[in-house]
Amino acid sequence: MVSRETAPPAPDEARGVFTTDRLELAERYAAWLADAGTVRGLIGPREVPRLWERHLLNCGVLAEVIPENATVADLGSGAGLPGLVLAIARPDLSVTLVEPLLRRTTFLEEVAADLSLEQVRVVRGRAEVLHGSERFDVVTARALAPLDRLLGWAMPLVKDSGVLLAMKGETAEVEIADSREVWSSLGCASPELAVLGKGRVPSPTRVVRVAWAPGREVGWPLAPSPRGPGASSGRRSRKGRTR
């Protein structure tokens, strides 16, 4: 029999990532991860004590660099990281969770329904099922694949004015260098690496941002959002290719 875990309480840092009216939803999501998430094998039991530090806060800071009212596709969403966290933190976003495994999509649908996240849609399948039919303002992925492979899956889903935001670890710089031939052949701008939440959350988030339009560098944050200042920048249109 699989033992059920209890989520740790929200740390003080959570109040700087989630607004007061959304923090309760984040706490309920943490409870889902600790309980059903571990029972169904979506989250390892050893991750439960650090759910906030390594998962919810780590994903939550990504919401600060996403434009207002954006459409978002989260590839390989798994337990909903970062897709469900973004939907909790930013109710203005329309979030599509793309995940091929049935037990994971079932979990995602149950959580979205329980938290009344009406702007969330769950698609069972790989990124390719949406190629040629849908494109998004922002495509996200967390530790899904090396950047050279991820680009082929994600960029066909990115609008001409959109971006890929890939959450990466300490190998981000190496992955950018190793994928140069791929992003250049696809017609992408040079990938940018940013560290989000530094000094505000225990584990800052390293994000690789890839946009269309070669030669155009766009600063962070991408555009003004309800949670922080910023300025948007224009980019030339460039369509992607499937792998």
Contact criterion met (CB below 8 Å) for 154 and 243? no
Q: Name the band, by pLDDT with cuts 50, 70 and 90, for residue 98.
A: very high
pLDDT, tens only, 131-170: 999 999 999 999 899 999 999 999 999 999 999 999 999 9
142 marked ligand binding residue: yes
76 marked ligand binding residue: yes
Q: Considering the entire predicted model, what is its pTM?
A: 0.87
Proportion of the chain above pLDDT 70, given as a percent: 86
| Residues with Cβ within 8 Å of residue 75, at least 6 apart in sequence | 98, 127, 139, 140, 141, 144, 150, 153, 154, 157
Residues 61-93 as b or e (16 or more Cβ within 10 Å = b): bbbbbbbeebbbbbbbbbbbbbbbbbbbbbeeb
List domains and CATH numbers for the chain: 60-211 (3.40.50.150)
31 marked ligand binding residue: no
Report H helices in 115-232: 147-154, 172-178, 180-186
pLDDT, tens only, 184-213: 999 999 999 999 999 999 999 999 999 996
Cβ-based burial of 37 (10 A; exposed 0-12, middle 13-18, buried ≥19):
buried
128 marked ligand binding residue: yes
127 marked ligand binding residue: yes
The CA radius of gyration of the chain, in Å to the nearest whole number, is: 17
